[in-house]
Amino acid sequence: MPGVSHLHKWALGLGAVSGAIFYYYNAYDNRDSLRVHNSWTTNHTPSMKWDHNWDRRDPKSLIKPLEIHNESDENKYNEKYEAKKAKAVRHILLIRHGQYHIDGKTDAEKVLTELGKKQAEATGKRLADLNLPYSLIVRSTMTRALETSKIIEKSLIDVPVEDDSMLIEGAPIPPEPPIGQWRSEKHFFQDGPRIEAAFRKYFHRANPSQEHDSYTILVCHANVIRYFVCRALQFPPEAWLRIGLKHGSITWLCIFPSGRVTIFCLGDTGHMLPQNLTSS
């Protein structure tokens, strides 16, 4: 038995060495059939691949292709490529407005409830406690979002504020599966392009001139936030209605210089008392 055990150990050692050689060969061979694509898989084929140029800011897409004839041409191309690369991370914090009076006939009458004001105050304190170097607060021009933002702003003094009507609530795209109240295609036809335009305005990797990470707060609405999340993570955009968000919740996404997008939290309301949680 000792001999067998020794032989077994020798075989395992040989297997480890041969595995290392096999990896080295695969990693450095230029042929696609032998290249290592994912260190944690073997030959898995993803159901869908990440679009690295989703924001149309991949450096390669910003430079006119060159016919490289010599080393000088290659150096010039590399210099242009480096000049177009992002250096900083963009953090986007999406805040849903507080609870409001849904029985209002006009937007001006759909003001926050007393509970909605408490929710906004709790969210403002939470954002302040995070102690992040916020770059900008952008708020939807609908009454409930403006009120929510103004309460939050009391906890974030000296942060610049802007209004943007592109962030108002709407119907981004027909959901799948179709649930809820029926809506004509007119709503999606009108709201969809606007909400998509807002996504393209705020979701992209940093400009090459941006030296430091930025933190932008968008105070808006559930449908808008849910659609943004699906688009940013390259989930099917029709899935937006599968996501539930509480009033005053925080959703945090970050966009890396490579174009990769990560979600840090989705609809976080841990800063609120349980009895103050509402979604409609």
Give pLDDT, residue 187: 87
Confidence class for position 280, pLDDT limits 50, 70, 90: confident
Confidence class for position 169, pLDDT limits 50, 70, 90: very high
Give pLDDT, residue 66: 75
Give pLDDT, residue 183: 76
Confidence class for position 37, pLDDT limits 50, 70, 90: low
Residue 97 one-letter amino acid: H
Please check the confidence at residue 261 and state whether its pLDDT lies above 90: yes
Please check the confidence at residue 74 and state whether its pLDDT lies above 90: no
Lowest mean pLDDT among 34-43, 165-174, 240-249, 256-265: 34-43
Percentage with pLDDT > 70 across the chain: 84
3-class SS string, the chain: CHHHHHHHHHHHHHHHHHHHHHHHHHHHCCCHHHCCCCCCCCCCCCCCCCCCCCCCCCHHHHCCCCCCCCHHHHHHHHHHHHHHCCCCCEEEEEEECCCECCCCCCHHHCCECHHHHHHHHHHHHHHHHHCCCCCEEEECCCHHHHHHHHHHHCCCCCCCEEECHHHCCCCCCCCCCCCCCCCCHHHHHHHHHHHHHHHHHHCCCCCCCCCCCEEEEEEECHHHHHHHHHHHCCCCHHHHHHCCCCCCCEEEEEECCCCCEEEEEEEECCCCCHHHCCCC
Confidence class for position 5, pLDDT limits 50, 70, 90: very low
Give pLDDT, residue 235: 97
Residue 11 exposure: Cα atoms within 13 Å on the Cβ side = 6
Q: Which fold has domain 90-276?
A: Rossmann fold (3.40.50)
Percentage with pLDDT > 90 across the chain: 72
Give pLDDT, residue 41: 61
Domains of the chain by residue range = 15-45, 54-85, 90-276
Give pLDDT, residue 27: 37
Lowest mean pLDDT among 1-15, 83-97, 259-273: 1-15
Look-up: residue for tokens 């009454």?
Answer: 143
Mean pLDDT in residue range 200-219? 98
Residue 191 makes CB contacts below 8 A (sequence gap 6+) with 170, 171, 172
Lowest mean pLDDT among 6-10, 198-202, 235-239: 6-10
Per the prediction, the chain carries an average pLDDT of: 87
Residue 40 makes CB contacts below 8 A (sequence gap 6+) with none
Give pLDDT, residue 160: 98
Q: d(Cα 173, Cα 185) in Å, to the nearest integer?
A: 9
